[in-house]
């Protein structure tokens, strides 16, 4: 297949691009490099630098595209609280430009990176796709709006969409042979737990801050559902095959089990062999106590199966960092 990957210079987009190439597809990456890195785009994909608004129509008009995988987005929850207009404009606005470009070019399938942040504070756990969506920040709200737009474009314009709602993505894709770094997390501003803990192991930070120890969880710290980026990527290949013009489906993507902040830090200590000092601070605003996916729908419908546990995520993220150094 010939595929357009938006955001293919970013973390998840670059991993999925590598997997798509490995499966024999032709891939064009469209990325404005606002947060991505040109050298993260796997060899074999063609990189077009530009925004979706400026460049998607031109690229798709070139012809022959079978589908789009749409990763390009602003994805920092905290920043979205400071700059909601920017998140609405970039996430929803640019996605609408992409959908219109698809319509004009007759491209009728799209797999979209949605998020657990569309659900907000859950009423019950694990979270099902049919649960209420009440996002608590503009990041989640803008992604939910795109899910809604996809449903409308499916119903009214026959464009088939699959929204994959990611829980906490971690790990890296390491090439099987050789010691090239592969694809992994390289955020300029790092807010996520595992990369921040690994920075402490590397000596780039003195200690990790645990945001709150007074949650109603077994050890008092927040519980999240971590999923390996390679397992997550494989779900995109399955979704691509399952995507049918005229339909829109939503699937949660998590492992279905939770790990606390303390448990994550402990696994990082074991994997890296570094002590990793931790200090407790007050809760971070907007963090729900527990976010765990029910991944039963994607397992039973698409036959997806996660194969890598938290230890593998930390080990691969750690190997990626070492190789890049």
The catalytic site residues sit at 139
Q: What share of the chain is helix, strand, coil (3-state, %, to 5)?
A: 40, 20, 40
Question: 110 and 70 in contact (C-beta within 8 Å)?
Answer: yes
Q: Which is nearer to ligand UDP, 164 or 243 (CB)?
A: 164
- What minimum distance in Å lies between the beta carbon of 164 and ligand UDP? 15
Residue nearest to ligand UDP according to CB distances in the complex: 222
Residue 322 in 3-state DSSP? Answer: helix
Looking at residue 67, what DSSP letter applies? Answer: E
The continuous run of DSSP H or E covering 82 comes out as helix 77-82
Q: Give the separation between CA 86 and CA 82, rounded to whole angstroms.
A: 9
Burial track 296-320 (b if 16+ CB lie within 10 A, e otherwise): ebbeeebebebebbbebbbbbbbbb
Q: Which is nearer to ligand UDP, 27 or 210 (CB)?
A: 210
Crossing angle of helices 193-202/310-324, nearest 10°? 50
Query: Which residue ranges make up the site for ligand UDP (CB under 6 A)?
Result: 168, 191-193, 196, 208-211, 222, 224, 261, 284, 287
Furthest-apart CA pair in the chain: how many Å?
Answer: 56
- What minimum distance in Å lies between the beta carbon of 33 and ligand UDP? 23
Displacement of CA 308 from its chain's centroid (Å): 16
- What minimum distance in Å lies between the beta carbon of 60 and ligand UDP? 31
Looking at residue 303, what DSSP letter applies? Answer: -
- What minimum distance in Å lies between the beta carbon of 108 and ligand UDP? 32
- What minimum distance in Å lies between the beta carbon of 41 and ligand UDP? 24
Q: Which is nearer to ligand UDP, 117 or 159 (CB)?
A: 117
């Amino acid at each position: 297949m010939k595929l357009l990957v938006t955001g293919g210079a970013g973390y998840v987009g670059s991993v999925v691009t590598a997997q798509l190439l490995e499966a024999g597809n032709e891939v064009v990456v469209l990325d404005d490099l606002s947060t991505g890195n040109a050298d993260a785009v796997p060899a074999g994909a063609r990189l077009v630098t530009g925004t979706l608004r400026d460049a998607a129509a031109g690229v798709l008009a070139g012809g022959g595209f079978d589908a789009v995988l749409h990763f390009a987005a602003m994805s920092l929850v905290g920043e979205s609280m400071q700059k909601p207009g920017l998140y609405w404009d970039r996430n929803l606005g640019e996605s609408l430009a992409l959908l219109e470009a698809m319509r004009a070019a007759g491209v009728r399938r799209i797999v979209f990176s949605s998020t657990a942040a569309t659900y907000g504070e859950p009423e019950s756990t694990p979270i099902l796709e049919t649960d209420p969506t009440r996002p608590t920040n503009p990041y989640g709200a803008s992604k939910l709006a795109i899910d809604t737009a996809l449903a409308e474009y499916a119903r009214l314009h026959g464009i088939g969409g699959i929204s994959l709602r990611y829980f906490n993505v971690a790990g890296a894709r390491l090439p099987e042979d050789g010691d090239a770094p592969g694809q992994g997390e390289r955020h300029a501003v790092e807010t996520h737990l595992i990369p921040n803990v690994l920075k402490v192991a590397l000596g780039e930070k003195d200690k990790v801050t645990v945001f709150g120890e007074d949650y109603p969880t077994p050890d008092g710290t927040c519980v999240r559902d971590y999923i390996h980026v390679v397992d997550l990527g494989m779900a995109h290949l399955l979704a691509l095959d399952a995507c049918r013009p005229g339909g829109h489906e939503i699937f949660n993507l998590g492992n279905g089990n939770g790990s606390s902040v303390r448990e994550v830090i402990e696994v990082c200590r074991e994997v890296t062999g570094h002590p990793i000092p931790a200090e407790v601070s007050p809760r971070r605003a907007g963090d729900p106590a527990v976010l765990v996916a029910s991944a039963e729908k994607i397992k039973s419908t698409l036959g997806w199966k996660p194969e890598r546990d938290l230890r593998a995520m930390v080990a691969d993220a750690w190997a990626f960092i070492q190789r890049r150094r």
